[in-house]
Structure 1
Amino acid sequence: MEKKKMIGLIFFIIALVIVIINLVVIYPLNFCSFAPLVFWLIALLSIVGGVIFYFNIKIMHSEELKA
């Protein structure tokens, strides 16, 4: 398996763990109003990073790379 696909899978696993922590720990013990939002933001960023790495999506296209 390619290195980028492995990194993408690691990001997916991190996102899954963060979602589980958010649902099991953070919501029942909601001491701070913005804590669940921060965990959802981290999970969303992990999912986006996982998709970018797993499917090898190129975000920035440069003319220098084509030369």
Structure 2
Amino acid sequence: MTDQDPRKETDDWKTGEEPATGPQLSYLETLAREAGEEVPEGLSKAEASRLIDEFQRRSPRTD
């Protein structure tokens, strides 16, 4: 991330410890399936975001 990047680190999110949202989980399931991974249960918003980033890097759809 650069100084001009408006995204906050997930550790700095005020709502990061809240449960992952439905859209996050849905997208995460799609990416996990493509990556041959499973989505752990009980993810927070921040954890889901980090996994989305990780799975996106390995997904053929984002090449």
TM-score normalised according to structure 2 size: 0.35
TM-score normalised according to structure 1 size: 0.33
Q: Flag the structure with more relative contact order, 1 or 2, with Cα contacts below 8 A and sequence separation at least 6.
A: 1
Q: Answer with 1 or 2: which has the greater Rg.
A: 1
- Which protein is richer in helix relative to its size? 1
